[in-house]
A and B are shown apart, each in its own frame.
Chain A
Amino acid sequence: MLKESIGKRSDKVKNTIERGAVRKFAEAIGDPAPIFLDEKAGADSKYGRNIAPPTFPVTFDAGTVPDLNLPKKGLIHGEQIYHYNRPLYIGEDVYCWVEVKDYYEKTGSMGNMGFLTMTKYGEDADGQLLFSEERIIIINEAARKEMSV
């Protein structure tokens, strides 16, 4: 059932990187550095502006994949992988979407587990890819049974 979702993707959603959201995020990860938060430090930096921490894309709305209904419980976050072409700038618009990249099941010591790979992408207004964020989610058997009800 999840296998049928492979290759499906959401429609693009526009996200604006807001200064206040970056401040809250940087403080929540204990990294309130001037390069993220201080306007003058950003202007004086090699980027000429403030940038966002590398895990900030967790906050982006990337829409929803049609017909993909994940269980609310029984999900384990297995891996998270970022690729960047450049840092993200405060104030810029990022157009995000998410795609189901892969799904397979494997039996191991914890029973039959499902492995779902979802990748979020972000591009600028000109369609240049800025980053990708791959998330591998492990779904246990009990949670999958609930989905099929």
Chain B
Amino acid sequence: MTPIVDLQVGDSLDEIKLSPVTRLDLIKYAGASGDFNPIHTIDAEAEKAGLPGIIAHGMWTMGNLSKLFTPYLEEGFIADYSIRFKGMVFLEDVITLKATVAEKQAQQIKFSVEATNQQDKNVLKGDLVFSL
């Protein structure tokens, strides 16, 4: 693994492709996060809200995305992490997590981060500053 400090603008971290989203993933996240909004776990409630089915918590996907940086926590920490939610994540979707160096300074590296689904559509997108 290349130290994060050696990455140059345009370099990417190794992508992570998640297993297809399951209901159990979302039930576990509901329990762990305390977000029990039923549109994330119960079909009938999602349908009542006008959705074709249950959708993942946006924060489930944002939480997953930060693991791209977990192997580098010995070098520094996530100082800023800013995400815009762009699209819904449904059961069976296959999400890929990506991060690319956008700017480099002495004490920090700024990444563009995103999560895409199997149609290569962004479900979330943002910036992350890793502080060295």
Contacts and interface: CB of A to CB of B under 8 A. Distances in A.
Interface string A70-93: 000100111111111111000000
B63 A53 contact: yes
B42 interface: no
A46 B76 CA distance: 9
B84 interface: yes
A27 B18 CA distance: 14
A80 B125 CA distance: 11
Interface size on A, as a range, is: 20 to 34
A98 interface: no
A45 interface: yes
A82 B29 CA distance: 19
Contacts of B8: none
A140 to B, nearest CB: 11
B67 A30 contact: yes
Nearest to B84: A79
Task: Identify the interface centre among B18, B60, B79, B84: most chain A CB within 10 Å of its CB.
Answer: B79
Interface string A1-35: 00000000000000000000100110111110101
Given A45-B73, A51-B73, A86-B77, A29 B82 contact: no
Interface string B21-45: 0000100110111110000000000
B82 to A, nearest CB: 4
Interface in B43-84: 49, 58-60, 62-64, 66-67, 70-71, 73-74, 77-84
Given A28-B32, A29-B29, A81 B70 contact: no
A55 interface: yes
A58 B35 contact: yes
B77 to A, nearest CB: 5
Interface in B93-132: 131
A54 B85 contact: no
Interface in A61-113: 73, 76-87
A59 B80 contact: no
Contacts of B84: 78-79
Contacts of B78: 54, 82, 84, 87
Interface of A: 21, 24-25, 27-31, 33, 35-36, 45-46, 51, 53-55, 58-59, 73, 76-87
26 contacts: A24-B28, A28-B63, A29-B60, A29-B63, A29-B67, A30-B18, A30-B64, A31-B63, A31-B64, A31-B66, A33-B67, A54-B66, A55-B62, A58-B59, A59-B32, A77-B59, A78-B84, A79-B82, A80-B58, A80-B59, A81-B81, A81-B82, A82-B78, A82-B81, A84-B131, A87-B73
